[in-house]
Structure 1
Amino acid sequence: MKKTVIVILLFNVITACSKEKFITYHFFSLGTIIDITIQEKYAEYLPEINKYINNLSDIVLLDEKNINTAYADEKINISKETIDIYKKSIFYYNISIKYDPSSYTVSSLYGFPEGPYHIPAEKDIINAKINAGFDKLILNNDYFIKKSNLLVDFSANAKGYIVDKTVEYMKNLSIDNFIINAGGDLYISGKKNKEYFNTGIIDPDNKNTTLSIVNIENMALATSGNYERYFIDNDKYISHIFEGITYEPVNNYKSVSVIAENAEKADGFATLFYLLDINEITNYCKKFNVAVLILTNNHKIVKLCNWEKYEKL
């Protein structure tokens, strides 16, 4: 259930008229480029923030590996962090079983997330679909039991979870005005010299333009899209996003963006909503108080649940 996102931060990091200088620090973690923008006076904290993110990423990736290499009915010890992510995944799964981290049992056969991509043998697809099913991964206090040879990928909300933990870590260091951009899973804390950090969602069909520019503070933005990890076979578009009923790739929209109070929530709902129809999205974004922007496959922009209130005037 890997997803890709594109956002752009629309501000000059260091300007002559700024009261305080901001710098952006880049490093690779969580399978993507992480950008952290903070006031220059806090630059000394960047290496330990980098280390903190890497440690969390290593913990979750190791747990995923241990789950995926374990045999059915084998006891699998896991971290508190992965238990938290699992419980949050169950929340989305209970809304709709289309959201299913075990869909990776099938999507991995196609070469996702990194390739090379190909159509697997039909017998392998059938066998993988039999093994898939998030309800076959059972949590018993502090360990898992698999009831089949399923595979899991928690990336649909794990990256947002790690961003949120990092936000807490940075605020404990008394850093209040910053941006964490984890490959498009974005959290903005505070402002830049009392002005918003403007954020634009790039049009995947024309990367020189934006679908929307928003002003958010102490909130998160995430996007789920089909436009970077895919391949075409006999004119069939094979997206990296698979749903948990048919365990087939879906191509419902170009992208779905969500604004929420934290990155995990924005991250998880962006993936969940990508799997649902617009009427379902409308009902759930009202119920769970998140704003949504959809780019349809015919390039129509749909704004739901007060998205407009965050847009820059």
Structure 2
Amino acid sequence: MVASPASPKTSTASTRSLVSIIGASSVGTLIEWYDFYIFGSLATVLATKFFPEGNPTAAFLSTLATFAAGFVVRPFGALFFGRLGDLIGRKYTFMVTLLLMGGATFAIGLIPSYETIGFLAPTLVLILRLLQGLALGGEYGGAATYVAEHSPVEKRGYWTSWIQTTATAGLFISLLVIMATRVSLSKEAFDDWGWRVPFWVSIIMVAVSYIIRQNMHESPLFAKAKAEGKTSANPLQESFGNKYNFKFVLLALFGATMGQGVVWYTGQFYAMSFIKTVCSVDAMQSDGLMSIALLMGTPFFVVFGWLSDRIGRKPIMLA
């Protein structure tokens, strides 16, 4: 009975600790999503900069294909950096993915146009997009794992749902930065060089996030496993070489995440591109509409994360 009054204090301290952990994790993850999405948000502009003139439809499709290349390599980034995280820890892996993403994004803003360097321009953009995809593949899964390893089991859905909000928040911020840049410059200046500004802004965000993440501690579950010598010597072999584990890998990939990915990116990016190109809606207006939709939809990540702790993950995914 004497210990019971201390429980609320212990709970509050734990909650405060989790809030700071999620804050530090989310800032970096949000910036990486911003970096990843800024390319898609500017797809209609980039199509005229990095691809040959004369066939705008082909140029736009090529831009979307380059954007999609980042998604193709994300699973490999998740595997590579996931293994790295299992071997050296989540914190140091976070640093690597953050710097890789930030450097690639800043570099895209420096690439000369197709008119200046020819086919070298789309080639360099493709390489940097692949680096972005690798970095995000490692970052997103690592951040979710890091938060989950700090969370109490009965509230894991709620706390990790905050990491999920960073995807839409990153897209939202990318649209705000683009709109602010458009408003600050003339149309001619934006089309000439202003479209590079959102890429350059990224380096400031990355620097701030790097400083914040330097003060992060390793997750208690990983630190305990490492101290006890229980970390996996070969995580990939254990995941894919073991039939029982491999079954869950396939279930997670094709059963849980593939459908969500199709719905999310169709609803956000294809819808945005469709509004601009097929419906010929002004860029500022379409970006504003998408921003409002994202602002309204993002809180529901947390709502359904909280609900999943009460009724389970499966019913929500099926619904």
Q: TM-score, normalised by structure 1?
A: 0.31
Larger Rg: 2
Q: When you count helix as a share of all residues, which structure comes out higher?
A: 2
Q: When you count strand as a share of all residues, which structure comes out higher?
A: 1
